[in-house]
Structure 1
Amino acid sequence: MDKREAVADILAKRSAKNEELTKLLDTAKTESRGLTEDESGRFDALEAEVRAFDERAKELDAQIRADDAAAEMAKRYAPSGIKVTSEPEIYRSGLGGRSYFRDLHLARNKGDHAAIDRLARNDRGRAADPEFRAISTTNGAGGEFVPPRWLEDQFVRLARPGRITANLTPSFPLPPGTDSINVPKINTGTATAVQTTQNSAVQQTDLTTTSISSGITTIAGGQTVSLQLIEQSPLNVDDVVLADLAAAYAVSLNTLVLSGTGSNSQPTGILTLSGTNGVTFTSASPTLGLLYSKLAGAIQQVHTKRYLPPDTIIMHPSRWAWCLASLDSQSRPLVVPDTASPFNAMGNQSGVPSQGYVGHIMGLPVYVDATIPTNGGAGTNQDVIIVARMADLMLWEGNVKAEAFAQTYANQMSVFIRLYNYMSFQAARYPASISVISGTGLVAPTF
């Protein structure tokens, strides 16, 4: 599929999504009502997809125009017999694609000028990309480069299922050249009071400020690969190695966001932060009905201390499965599918995903995250449930970088491929935004 065919395909998909949007609005209009909560959620999701299609179509259109202009210029100025065409992406996925890791090896360890040039052109292309978030360091000898676009797209796609809580946190590009992030915060505020008499002094209390600081954490991993696999194998080692490192990075990042200790270069995670709202669920025979009141308690803690509502419930997949398995006295499920138009249900179920968004309880979206710890309590068999205003949290990430080394592995004809990234996380601005439910009522469920 060339770029023009890709644009046509995108426009066709956009048209289908737009028709679905129109049907949603027409249905509500015909029934003389507004959109339901589910319809509003679907409307927002469709609208986001349409915008994404528009942006991609514009990007491809600009590339096509640039290619056409370059081709026309080439006809006028290129020597006779030489035909200039647009250059395809330097690195591509699958069999037959040029290996990014192979070029890293050739550039760093063998000084291959062609490989160095390809890596440099890839970096220049990434730097010109409007979605390229961080500055890479290229020393001209194949030392440190940013993975090509298709690899980073794969990285994000593969990492996403392992970093549910991290993805729910507002994310920002990590500033270069810093070893800590400092966010200002008002420590004590101003005050007002009744003016006792006319022309008397009014209340004057100066606010004071402080800042919340978080260090920069390095997450890194590597893989030793045989030289034969890099130089001779038809298999694109990029697909295999990056997929594995991406999944490992995702788990590490998400675990730090949840349970970082605040020491040994780790950030302070949501579950280790002091000052959060603790809700204890004690029960020898826990039920969803008992948990329901604890969820209400966790929500009201955020309401009364943060003065803004929580926006998310996060739990372990096994805890959500326990909720789905809970029945009333007539053996009817208490959490039922959205499609069933539930009446007076404790919660709604949206499909059966393994991780991510799964439904609603008390009007809040529920997400399941497999990295929620399940070894709490005296019996090391309890999980926790987080009710939080995730909009108050902040996560900074750099851009993943890659290197290849052969020096210390020369005697075994191997190459060490290393990927790393920097991150910083802050949950301490508003600890009252977070409620954590724990206790004997959350022992490992049985089915």
Structure 2
Amino acid sequence: MLAFLRTQLQELLEQRAALKTELDGVLATPTTEKRNLTDDEQTAFDEKRDAIKAKDTEIEEKRSRIADLEEAEARDTKAAELRSKYGQAPAPAPAASGVTVTSEPETYRKGGRTSYFRDLYRSQHMGDRGAMDRLRRNDEQVAEGLEKRALTTVDGSAGEFVPPLWMIDDYVKLARAGRVVADQVQHQPLPAGTDTISLPRLASGTAVAEQTTQNTAVQNTDATASSVSASVATIAGQQTVPLQLLEQSPINMDTILLADLAADYATKLDQFVISNNAANKRGILNVAGLNAITYTDATPTVGEAYSKVGDGIQQIHTGRLLPPDKIFMHPRRWAWYTVSLDTAGRPLVVPAANMPQNVLAAMSDVVSEGFVGTLQGLPVYVDPNIPTGLGAGTNEDRVIVARSNDIILFEGTPRSETFRETKADQLSVLLRFYNYAALHSERYPKSISVVSGTGLIAPVF
């Protein structure tokens, strides 16, 4: 939870920095010309200043929430230290009696009455002092035995009785894509107590015109209004596991499974933002009225694709009257860019660290998802969740150019829970992970350009 809130705080700080840059831009010309602001400049200044104040309020609320959780975490840590100090203290030394103990039976042995895994469970979940003492004695016996007999954990010596740690600590996690696009649009906390978020919108605006004759009526055009709505979606998953697995496993299987549910939530949320196609829940690719750029070519080239991306950029300039700020594509499409050569055999995309000149694009970090470089002056993000089975041949991907701040993702706080009672009749535990989200992708359809067509079929390397 702290990591999630800290990520949101960082995004808010970045958004505030962007607003401050825009505010400085409004003041740049009047400062240079040493004059007061015009009416339009004053209006722009007031809008940016109010936006920064609103962002400061969000930042302060997020900081307060983080501070509360950090305080709770510190209290939990202190309590754990006290439990460790007073709950597992070494047993007091026996009074001198003239009797020397030369050996004692192993705490956990074949045919013994104590169970190592049961004691682990009882010490961790029930605070059983007896179990804690037996675990402590076992640690001492194992260490002493290995020291006296010079045994190792190599198979054939004593290794058969020591489970390799890599089998537990480095279990093979299921590979899942992250939430690149979802993290790059504007984020706002999901309001409580609603299933629909509606935003007012001007359908048509006012108008002005030249007054060609004095003392005649000036232009009078009434604005009309409408609204755009986003329905709140529930993204959830569950897993039923036997209680025996939770109690008898030497690792916390509930932690592993809940973490996997959280990872799949990130994937599904990202797919929701990119591809969902339901009323009031449109993903970016399905926004009605977006700038659709078709690239049809049986033998596509990076040079031709470059002009299509440029077309997407200029259409946002033309339709939204504000610039786009990000480009999204599948990793295979960016890889196609990076391996393409000019007629002299030189790469069209080279590392930014090489101070490139006359290149089509510059690449930064080599990653599977996230920021990878720049193209036509815009940052490029690769996202494996961008579909690759589109088009008539079900083998096309898409390139998205967007003004990301115009797309708003309202997201709640993820919740993870375990229920023993629900499946008590079959001795099972139900693990559940869920969250609520709403997406406003259709506020400004002309803020989105999507390049599609046969020119974006699976590239050949």
- Shorter chain as normaliser: what TM range? 0.5 to 0.7
Name the residue aligned to 2:342: 328
What is the CA-CA distance between 1:59 and the residue it aligns to? Answer: 5.9
Counterpart of 2:445? 431
Distance 1:370 1:294, change over 3 A: same
| Contact 2:176–2:264 under 8 Å retained in 1 | no
SS in structure 2 at match of 1:415: strand
Whole-angstrom distance in 2 between the partners of 1:410 and 1:239: 20
Deviations 1:45-87 (A, max 9, x none): xxxxxx9xxx89x969x969x99xxxxxxxxxxxxxxxxx954
Residue by residue over 1:166-210, the C-alpha shift from the partner in whole angstroms, topping out at 9 and shown as x without a partner, is 001111111111010011111111100111322222112221221
Please report how far the alpha carbon of residue 238 of structure 1 lies from its aligned counterpart in structure 2 after TM superposition.
4.3
Q: How does 1:282-431 map to 2 (within 5 A)?
A: 282-407=296-421, 409-431=423-445
Which of residues 237, 243, 254 in structure 1 aligns to 2:253?
A: 237
2:363 and 2:373 in contact (8 A); partners too: yes
User: In the superposition, relative to structure 1, how do residues 89 and 254 fare at CA in structure 2: closer, same or farther (>3 Å)?
Assistant: farther
For residue 236 of structure 1, report the CA deviation from its aligned partner: 2.5
Q: Which residue is 2:459 aligned to?
A: 445
Q: Does 1:270 align with 2:284?
A: yes
User: How far apart, CA to CA, are the structure 1 residues paired with 2:263 and 2:305?
Assistant: 33
Q: C-alpha offsets along residues 332-376 of structure 1, whole Å, 9 cap, x if unaligned?
A: 100000111100100001021110000001000000000111111
Q: State which of 162, 183, 187 in structure 1 corresponds to 2:199.
A: 183
Quote the Cα distance in structure 2 between the aligned partners of 1:269 and 1:276.
Answer: 12
Q: What is the aligned length? A: 312
Cα displacement string for residues 383-427 of structure 1 (whole angstroms, at most 9, x for unaligned residues):
110011111000001111233334553343211111111100011
CA contact (8 A) 1:259 1:269 kept: yes
Distance in 2 of aligned mates of 1:302 and 1:159 = 35
In 1, distance between residues paired with 2:257 and 2:452? 38
1: CA distance between counterparts of 2:336 and 2:207?
48
Q: Over alpha carbons, which structure has the higher Rg?
A: 2
Aligned mate of 2:212, from 188, 191, 196: 196
Is the 2:176–2:267 contact (alpha carbons within 8 Å) kept by the matching residues of 1?
no
Equivalent residue in structure 2 for 1:216, among 202, 226, 232 = 232
Q: How does 1:82-231 map to 2 (within 5 A)?
A: 86-87=78-79, 162-231=178-247
Measure, in 1, the Cα distance between the counterparts of 2:197 and 2:263: 26
Q: Deviations over 1:218-242 (max 9, x none)?
A: 0000111221233444422343022
Distance 1:223 1:311, change over 3 A: same
Equivalent-residue separation in structure 2 for 1:246 and 1:331 (angstroms): 45
Q: Tell me if the contact between 1:159 and 1:249 (Cα under 8 Å) persists in the aligned partners.
A: no
Cα separation, 2, equivalents of 1:402 and 1:292: 44
* 2:276 paired with 1:246: no
Structure 1 pair 160–193 and aligned structure 2 pair: CA distance change class (3 A): farther
- State the alpha-carbon separation in 2 of the partners of residues 424 and 165 from structure 1: 15
Judge conservation of contact 1:397–1:424 (CA < 8 Å) in 2.
yes
Change (3 A) 1:252 1:59: closer
Q: Is the 8 A contact 1:161 1:356 kept in 2?
A: no
Q: Who is 1:260 aligned against?
A: 276
Residues 89 and 208 from structure 1, CA distance in 2 versus in 1: closer, same or farther, beyond 3 angstroms? Answer: farther
- CA distance in 2: counterparts of 1:324 and 1:389, whole angstroms: 24
Q: Is the 2:254–2:431 Cα contact (8 Å) retained in structure 1? A: no
Give the corresponding residue for 1:74. none
- The AA in structure 2 aligned to 1:259 is S
TM-score of the two chains, using structure 1 as the length reference: 0.64
Structure-2 change in CA distance of 1:63 and 1:423 (3 Å): closer
**1:3-42 CA distance string (max 9 Å, x none):** xxxxxxxxxxxxxxxxxxxxxxxxxxxxxxxxxxxxxxxx
The amino acid of 1:380's aligned partner reads: T
Letter in 1 for 2:387: P
* Aligned AA (1:203): Q
Gaps of 5+ in 2: 1-58, 83-87, 89-120, 127-173
Q: In the alignment, is the contact (CA less than 8 A) between 1:159 and 1:247 conserved in 2?
A: no
- Identity among equivalent pairs (%): 52
Letter in 2 for 1:199: N
Q: Secondary structure in 2 aligned to 1:211? A: strand
Opposite residue 162 of structure 1, the aligned amino acid is: G
Change (3 A) 1:432 1:202: same
CA distance in 2, matches of 1:270, 1:336: 30
For 2:222 and 2:79, locate their aligned partners in 1 and report how far apart those are by CA, in whole Å: 61
Distance in 2 of aligned mates of 1:202 and 1:398: 49
Matches of 1:89 and 1:417, distance apart in 2: 28
Structure 1 residue 273: Cα displacement: 1.2
